[in-house]
Structure 1
Amino acid sequence: MKKLILAAACAVGFASPALAQEGSESNAKAGLRVEARATYETPTVSDIDDEDDDVYKLGSAVAFGGEVGFDIAVSSSVVVGPYLTFEKSSVKTSDGADYLKVKDNLAAGLHIGYAVGSKGQIYGKVGYAKLRLEAQVGALRETDSGSGVQGAIGYEHGFGDKFYVRAEAGYGDNGRIGGIKFQRRHVGVGMGVRF
């Protein structure tokens, strides 16, 4: 029985690289990718005072960051793989010396793309995101975070063999921070390279 399990493990181990290599040759969107991102984000709060229909914007501003992903070809037109995104925010709302600002957003999850023609790709992402906030009231300053599900859809267009640009829109539910529900909406662009 041990020999059978060992043989099966070896077969899977040797077959997987061959399958990945064969798939990546027929799908130009597979492989490691690194991109710089700029997004216009609007964090919002809701469920204040236990009301269900109140939604307030904290403000809108630009966030800058990057994303790293590794896409595996599952067919000649479909890729699937993990991604990690980090964006530094500039959203801030203030009342005199008191303020609330969004520090950053960190997300990880699964990316799936479908090739459109020889250069394009429609993609979607679903993952888990952590939104970090900083608040100051008088002399007291505190940082806290909330996390939850985040998703996005977008379009990518390739230039040459390795370079691409993206346009994306997404939404994240970041759970409760200080008893208040936080959400994040974003639209943005990215510029990246595949290796």
Structure 2
Amino acid sequence: MRPQPGEVLHFSEDPAITVFHPHVAATAQQPEAYVWAVDEVQAPAYWFPRQCPRAMAWATPGTSASDRERVLGPGGGERVHAIEYDWVERFLGVELFAYRFSAAAFRPFGGPVPHAFVTTVPVEPLGPAQPVGDLLRLHRDAGIQLRVLDSLWEFWDSVVTSTLQFSGIRLRNATPRPQAHQ
């Protein structure tokens, strides 16, 4: 599930939203009220239950061969997403929906490569919410490796010190980081 040219998407477990109003999320790092959406590049980061913690990494032209091998693995493709075992049942069973919006109503957020698109005015979707479908199949069809781990933290620590691009979403919902042995 990706946007068409000239569109951005918002993913939700609520299929009945008719107008999206800007708001400041409880976890926001900025004071402005926004409606959030993503483009084709960022859409796969939202093929998850909303509260599911996930760690993601992908290769870029600047990714070293050693990091590609170490993090993505042999034959691992260009992108990997990781979730925890405790989230597998919810991942497989969630009913996720996508709302389509005209990209003209949104501006890039974050940079130099935007990680989202935002607007500060209420917006109506271009049509009703569309079921996203089988999230596992979406990952497979997109060539994205999906890993299931006991804990995200070892993978996350490896990713953030690599030459891969990465994103972590809802990491506060992950299993607590193990305490160092003393």
What range is the shorter-chain TM-score in?
under 0.3
Q: What is the TM-score of this pair, normalised by structure 1?
A: 0.21
Give the strand-richer structure, 1 or 2: 1
Please identify the structure whose Cα radius of gyration is greater: 1
Of structures 1 and 2, the one scoring higher in RCO (CA 8 A, sep 6+) is: 2
Q: What is the TM-score of this pair, normalised by structure 2?
A: 0.22
